[in-house]
């Protein structure tokens, strides 16, 4: 059986004479599969894919060995699996479409902008964060970027107030009614406070990370937002971006990291058609 399969594979490869169009086609398909692997890596879907591969291999082997009853059962499971895939992989499919929607096809590049707005916001943040750290006040601050967070804003209390250190500190004070959620900053305004964020589904996170850090990672997995986290228990400053968490930042490192994320030296910032994004004029570990 295996000798025949190998001979058929060798014959098929010897007759394969790809042209330029075929090479481009194969490269595109390979890239699509590569991006899909990156999207599901580190999520629950990764284990489900492994399970589907095992079922597929078992179905092929049972067919070759003429184990008819087992093969019939596995074929039935695979048929049901094809129906269940869109339901099981709903979070990953949504994330893939959101990544596609954030692609450059929807962006305008080389648009002139004034960066003073973001720098003013950054200065206010860097005034508030040392106070929060010193007093061990937990904080979760989300900086909205290209991906709109309207659905997240609607889970909290709308504020639409100018970003100031005093406002941020008062929001996160322990006895404040809004201290237990996230603050969403849109442009130079605190859009809302007390917002609920989706928790990350990454099963490989450290057990010491609480709800605040998991919420920060969760929102960065489904958007391009940048999230600043201050731990209430340890006072550690962390930054979440693109599903990755950087911990133990000081004020200087936080400033440089945020500036690197928002500004590229020698280039003008890429912007979308939405006028209220940065750079355009028109855990709880407790």
Model confidence pLDDT, tens digit, residues 233-274: 999 999 999 889 999 999 999 999 998 887 754 444 444 333
Residues of the chain with pLDDT under 50: 1, 104-114, 265-286
Q: To the nearest 10°, the Cα dihedral for 31, 35, 36, 41?
A: 140
Strand partners, 158: 192
Instruction: Report H helices in 65-104.
Output: 68-88, 90-101
- pLDDT for the residue 48: 72
| Cβ–Cβ < 8 Å for 268, 112 | yes
| Cβ–Cβ < 8 Å for 247, 234 | no
Angstrom distances, CA of residue 130 to CA of 124, 241, 253 = 11, 21, 13
Angle at which helix 251-262 crosses helix 116-134, to 10 degrees, equals: 150
- pLDDT for the residue 101: 65
- pLDDT for the residue 117: 82
Q: Determine the Cα–Cα distance for residues 102 and 225; give it in Å rounded to an integer.
A: 12
pTM reported for the whole predicted model: 0.62
Going by C-alpha positions, the residue among 232, 194, 195 that lies closest to residue 213 is: 232
Going by C-alpha positions, the residue among 149, 122, 116, 141 that lies closest to residue 279 is: 116
> Chain centroid to CA 12: how far?
41
Q: What are phi and psi of 3, to 5 degrees?
A: -65, -40
- pLDDT for the residue 237: 95
* Assigned superfamily of 116-262: DNA integrity scanning protein, DisA, N-terminal domain (3.40.1700.10)
Going by C-alpha positions, the residue among 151, 137, 122 that lies closest to residue 219 is: 151
- pLDDT for the residue 231: 93
Q: What is the DSSP letter of 129?
A: H
Domain span(s) for CATH 3.40.1700.10 in the chain = 116-262
| Cβ–Cβ < 8 Å for 215, 141 | no
- pLDDT for the residue 41: 67
Q: What is the DSSP letter of 271?
A: B
Q: What is the DSSP letter of 270?
A: P
């Amino acid at each position: 059986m295996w000798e025949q399969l190998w001979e058929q594979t060798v014959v098929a490869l010897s007759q394969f004479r790809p042209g330029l169009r075929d090479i481009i086609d194969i490269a595109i398909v390979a890239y699509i599969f590569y991006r899909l692997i990156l999207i599901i890596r580190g999520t629950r879907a990764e284990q489900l894919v492994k399970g589907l591969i095992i079922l597929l291999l078992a179905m092929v082997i049972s067919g070759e060995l003429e184990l008819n009853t087992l093969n019939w059962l596995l074929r039935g499971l695979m048929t049901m699996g094809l129906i269940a895939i869109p339901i099981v992989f709903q979070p990953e499919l949504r994330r893939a479409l959101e990544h596609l929607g954030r692609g450059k096809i929807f962006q305008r590049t080389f648009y002139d902008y004034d960066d003073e707005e973001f720098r003013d916001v950054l200065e206010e943040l860097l005034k508030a964060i040392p106070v929060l750290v010193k007093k061990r006040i937990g904080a979760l601050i989300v900086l909205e970027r290209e991906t709109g967070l309207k659905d997240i804003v609607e889970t909290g209390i709308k504020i639409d107030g100018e970003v100031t250190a005093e406002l941020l500190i008062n929001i996160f004070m322990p006895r404040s009614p809004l201290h237990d959620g996230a603050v969403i900053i849109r442009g130079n305004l605190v859009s809302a406070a007390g917002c609920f964020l989706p928790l990350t589904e990454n099963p490989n996170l450290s057990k010491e990370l609480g709800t605040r850090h998991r919420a920060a990672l969760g929102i960065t997995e489904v958007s391009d937002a940048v999230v600043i986290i201050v731990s209430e228990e340890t006072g550690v400053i962390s930054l979440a971006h693109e599903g990755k968490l950087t911990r133990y930042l000081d004020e200087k490192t936080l400033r440089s990291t945020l500036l690197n994320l928002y500004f590229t030296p020698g280039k003008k910032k890429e912007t979308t058609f939405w006028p209220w994004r940065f750079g355009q004029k028109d855990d709880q570990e407790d």
